[in-house]
Structure 1
Amino acid sequence: MNYKSLAIIFSAVLASSMCFAQTAVVEDFKKSETTQQGKEYPQVNSEGRVRVQISAPEAKKVQLDIGAVKYDLVKDEKGVWTGESAPQDEGFHYYQLNIDGASVPDPGSLYFYGASRWGSGIEVPAKDQDFYALKNVPHGEVREVTYFSKTTNGMRRCFVYTPPGYNSSDKKYPVLYLQHGGGENETGWSSQGHANLIMDNLIAEGKANPFIIVMDNGTWARPTQPRPAQNTQSGRPGLPDGWADEFKNTLLNDIVPMIDANYRTLANQQNRAMAGLSMGGMQTRVITLANPEVFSHVGMFSGGSISTEDISKSPNFKDKVKLLFVSYGSRELENPREGSANPKTNTEALKQAGINTHFYVSPQTAHEWQSWRRSLKEFAQLLFK
């Protein structure tokens, strides 16, 4: 055998070993906190890989669909399909199974409302998960509230968090109106976001003042007409003028009065805040710019930013708003949307103009719930001080 042949063999062995090293999976999988009671799957390992299993003897092909990537599962002799994903970011992720082309929830997971449907979710343990952990501290309540809306001429539902001690005193509280993202609903912030646990822990540690949180449904349906190239109101491609009007009117004319009438609130602008994630952040932007006399604290999580030009068109915003908080996941800033403004530059420009602004970046996360949980944690500590 000559040296050339030996070199070829060595290269092949090296390539094979490198491929194996890249695909080797650490076998320390454990059930997730989002695995249904009595079920063994889904599971997560120390690398953040998600493993699923389902019995489908007649199926020809089964895939795990998570993070916009599909992973093939392998069938055993009993017709049970098993497989796992590549490592995922820390925190909560929506996912589904694809069985012979049909996308379905995993019967082993708890269900969450996202992507405009009830489906599966998985919790990848995070190094900083302590701030939303269930602890032995005083807890508030999350109440389901139904009410009639004159704006939409129908019954609606919201969830209201009242802080620890609300039921045992006559104290009045500030209010944060906190909105979900596109394809989600009023259950998102208390279910996927753990907003109540974040607040309970911050209050117990003396890091945040107690306040009420109202979580309503801001779902918006796109009209059938063609998308415009650009919108002057949103600053984002594809959103028509007036897209947030129905929820704006519902919030101002129905939700805020209903909350002030039924809860012990400090019913004034100085003690009223609005924030939201993604679509909810964009709604927050539109509504607070148009109504700075209603909200004094503004939070936008992965939902755009406010520019000096926006402020020039809303002259009372600078004088009325006490805080503007803008946040993103670090991976979002690495891959900004085409045509979007630089949110950090916009926010810093407003600080130079004399507005109290804060810009927060969630490390090693993208457009996902871990970014927004961390954002709420940071935002809550600045509210109503």
Structure 2
Amino acid sequence: MARILNVIIFFLSVASVAQNRIPELVSPEVNADRTVTFRIYAPSASEVLLECDLLQKGSGPMRLTKNESGVWSVTTVALPSEMYLYNFQVDKVRTLDPNNAFVIRDVGNVFGMFFVPGGKADDYLVRDVPHGSVIHVWYDSPSLKTNRRLTVYTPAGYETSKENYPVLYLQHGAGGDEDAWLQLGRTAQILDNLIASKKAKPMLVVMANGNAGQTAAPGESSAPMKKPVFIQPDMFSGNTEKAYPEVVAFIESRFRVKKDKASRALAGLSMGGMHSLVISANNPELFGYVAVFSSAMLWPKEAPGEVYKDFDRKLEAQKKAGYKLYWIGIGTDDFLFEQSNTFRKKLDAMQFKYVYKETAGGHTWSNWRDYLTEFVPLLFR
């Protein structure tokens, strides 16, 4: 009798769990008409909002509606093809979408991500094409007195080829690290797709950590695992720029690459754009191609680094040394737009030739992925 009673209790428990089971939801669901539906099960919540970088400037979060089953949902208008990041606010508490396994870190925040295909986002997706490899390597930096971590993309066929390849050195912005361009910038997918379609030459892409006080991305070194911060205290020390030739020297000793100026390119976004300006001006013999995306163009007058001193003279030396391409891209809503205009006026007065790309939008990865996709096909021609 006791055994029968235990069986009855077991099945009643299973039935109870089944009745209270969290429903399986699809979220986000990218619909055929490019609208996107978000869903979250939160029966006790009184308010659920959607925070997403798809929203128009100043529009605020989107409000979800709850049905009788406790599922909140909202469907957007048709969206442009793009990579998007988002979170929910449940009763004013920010949370990830529990139904989306695809998450990404940006500085100290974590977001769900999704793609709306059928346009430029197709360049960011993994296609059925030959794929390059991504590795992390450590190099010795005598200037910074430490070993440091690099992320390196090698194109499809590198391992079996005897060819020497050109190199793009790619810099992240403030708050980023050597994995930012790989994850948020979709560099490996963009390069795979451009190379496979013959729009770009096969090349290596080297992504260094631009924070002189870090040896590696958060959680990838022996440093304490603290929440990442946006601004590092040594941002304007000049140490990153001064030590950068060590990155080039390491790559050329470790990898099968071409070692002439016309086979090296340097590009960066925001803080990394500033680094690219300064590194290339201080080393006019190194890089035949330079690009700055939404770049900080000015630095504090009290910045201690020697690399910032006599900068106009260094630009003149860079101009005299010659280069293949100097490329500037920025959005009209970028908070650094006026700085960019000021810097371009300086270049114009010096008759320093450059290519200028002005787009809509602001200081966003959406623009920076666009700039990378446009700049890479121009290299090493």
Work out the CA distance in 1 between the residues paired with 2:175 and 2:77: 25
The residue aligned with 1:374 is 370
Q: Deviations over 1:62-116 (max 9, x none)?
A: 2111237322222233332222456655412222222222222222331112143
Q: Do residues 337 (structure 1) and 331 (structure 2) align?
A: no
Q: What aligned pairs does 1:19-34 form with structure 2 within 5 A after superposition? A: none
Is the 8 Å Cα contact of residues 115 and 121 (structure 2) preserved in structure 1?
A: no
Give the one of 44, 57, 79 matched to 1:58: 44
Kindly tell me: are residues 339 and 82 of structure 1, through their superposed partners in 2, closer, same or farther at Cα, counting changes over 3 Å? closer
The residue aligned with 1:40 is 26
Deviation at 1:178, TM superposition (A): 0.8
Amino acid at match of 1:102: V
Q: Do residues 102 (structure 1) and 93 (structure 2) align?
A: yes
Work out the CA distance in 1 between the residues paired with 2:75 and 2:146: 44
Give the one of 276, 282, 286 matched to 1:284: 276
Q: Deviations over 1:4-35 (max 9, x none)?
A: xxxxxxxxxxxxxxxxxxxxxxxxxxxxxxxx
Q: What aligned pairs does 1:233-272 form with structure 2 within 5 A after superposition? A: 243=236, 245-253=238-246, 255-272=247-264
Deviation at 1:275, TM superposition (A): 0.6
Kindly tell me: are residues 196 and 65 of structure 1, through their superposed partners in 2, closer, same or farther at Cα, counting changes over 3 Å? same
Work out the CA distance in 1 between the residues paired with 2:147 and 2:96: 29
Amino acid at match of 1:103: R
Amino acid at match of 2:47: K
The residue aligned with 2:154 is 162
Q: What SS class does the counterpart of residue 340 from structure 1 fall into?
A: helix
Is the 8 Å Cα contact of residues 281 and 300 (structure 1) preserved in structure 2?
A: yes
Work out the CA distance in 2 between the residues paired with 1:299 and 1:130: 23
Kindly tell me: are residues 85 and 311 of structure 1, through their superposed partners in 2, closer, same or farther at Cα, counting changes over 3 Å? farther
Q: What aligned pairs does 1:197-236 form with structure 2 within 5 A after superposition? A: 197-219=189-211
Stretches of structure 1 lacking an aligned partner (at least 5 in a row): 1-37, 222-237
Deviation at 1:356, TM superposition (A): 4.4
Q: What SS class does the counterpart of residue 203 from structure 1 fall into?
A: helix
Work out the CA distance in 1 between the residues paired with 2:86 and 2:27: 13
Work out the CA distance in 1 between the residues paired with 2:82 and 2:136: 26
Q: What SS class does the counterpart of residue 260 from structure 1 fall into?
A: helix
Stretches of structure 2 lacking an aligned partner (at least 5 in a row): 1-23, 214-230, 299-309
Amino acid at match of 1:315: E
Q: Deviations over 1:124-158 (max 9, x none)?
A: 33523444443343322122224454455555432
Q: What SS class does the counterpart of residue 145 from structure 1 fall into?
A: strand
Is the 8 Å Cα contact of residues 159 and 216 (structure 1) preserved in structure 2?
A: yes
Q: What SS class does the counterpart of residue 209 from structure 2 fall into?
A: coil
Amino acid at match of 2:73: T
Kindly tell me: are residues 377 and 145 of structure 1, through their superposed partners in 2, closer, same or farther at Cα, counting changes over 3 Å? same
The residue aligned with 2:72 is 81
Kindly tell me: are residues 170 and 202 of structure 1, through their superposed partners in 2, closer, same or farther at Cα, counting changes over 3 Å? same
Name which of structure 1's ranges 56-65 and 350-359 shifts more when overlaid on structure 2.
350-359
Deviation at 1:365, TM superposition (A): 4.8
Kindly tell me: are residues 302 and 48 of structure 1, through their superposed partners in 2, closer, same or farther at Cα, counting changes over 3 Å? farther
Q: Deviations over 1:218-256 (max 9, x none)?
A: 2489xxxxxxxxxxxxxxxx9999616233245333x32
Kindly tell me: are residues 241 and 217 of structure 1, through their superposed partners in 2, closer, same or farther at Cα, counting changes over 3 Å? closer
Taking only the aligned residue pairs, the percentage that are identical comes to 33
CA RMSD of aligned residues (A): 3.4
Q: What SS class does the counterpart of residue 314 from structure 1 fall into?
A: helix
The residue aligned with 2:315 is 314
Aligned length: 323
Q: Deviations over 1:346-383 (max 9, x none)?
A: 55874785544222245x55433332222112211221
Amino acid at match of 2:161: S
TM-score of the superposition, structure 1-length normalised?
A: 0.71
Deviation at 1:263, TM superposition (A): 0.6
Amino acid at match of 1:189: W
Q: What SS class does the counterpart of residue 276 from structure 1 fall into?
A: strand
Work out the CA distance in 2 between the residues paired with 1:265 and 1:84: 49
Kindly tell me: are residues 347 and 206 of structure 1, through their superposed partners in 2, closer, same or farther at Cα, counting changes over 3 Å? farther
Deviation at 1:259, TM superposition (A): 1.7
Q: What SS class does the counterpart of residue 381 from structure 1 fall into?
A: helix
Q: What SS class does the counterpart of residue 164 from structure 1 fall into?
A: coil
The residue aligned with 1:137 is 129
